Amino acid sequence: MIKRDELDSLCRSLTGTSNVIQWGGASVWKVGGKIFAVCAVWGEGADEKISFKCSDSSYQILCELEGVIPAPYLARAKWVQVLSNASLADEDIQSYIVEAHSIIAGKLTKKARTELGL
């Protein structure tokens, strides 16, 4: 599974993104002030987990994979959480994160997209 620094590097390279550290040290990535990806350690002694927004069809497919679960608190909005033992290749995770950015950016107003260079 990709590590936090790799996620941060990928998200930083996407247009119009910002990063905040919140919720006990989670790396939270936003576009236009709306979250599209999170990397955090939840629970004592736990591994890093990556959560991201996905399309309805991707959500269904991903939730059937070993090591991918509906994201706590965000599943109703079609977010998944990738655990360290996920049967998902790093390249696939990266592609889904780029897609998450696009999904959230697409929901912004035209004015916001223009201001962000999207």
Residue 28 resides in a domain: yes
How many other CB atoms are there within 10 angstroms of residue 98's CB atom?
Answer: 17
Is 55 part of a structural domain of the chain? Answer: yes
CATH number for the domain spanning 69: value is 3.90.1150.30
**Contact assessment for residue 14 and residue 101, using Cβ atoms and an 8 Å cutoff:** yes
Q: Is residue 95 part of a domain?
A: yes
Q: Report the C-alpha gap between 80 and 82 in whole angstroms.
A: 7
Q: What is the pLDDT of residue 41?
A: 80
Number of structural domains (the chain) is 1
43 to 4, 29, 37, 82: CA distances (angstroms): 16, 20, 19, 15
Q: Is residue 79 part of a domain?
A: yes
**118 lies in a domain?**
no
* Residue (of 27, 21, 20) closest to 5 by Cα position: 27
Instruction: Provide the residue type at 73 as one letter.
Output: Y
101-118, pLDDT tens digit by residue? 999 999 999 999 999 999
Convert the pLDDT of each residue in 28-53 to its tens digit: 999 999 999 999 886 655 688 999 99
The parent domain of residue 34 ranges over 4-112
Closest to 55 measured CA to CA, from 96, 94, 1: 96
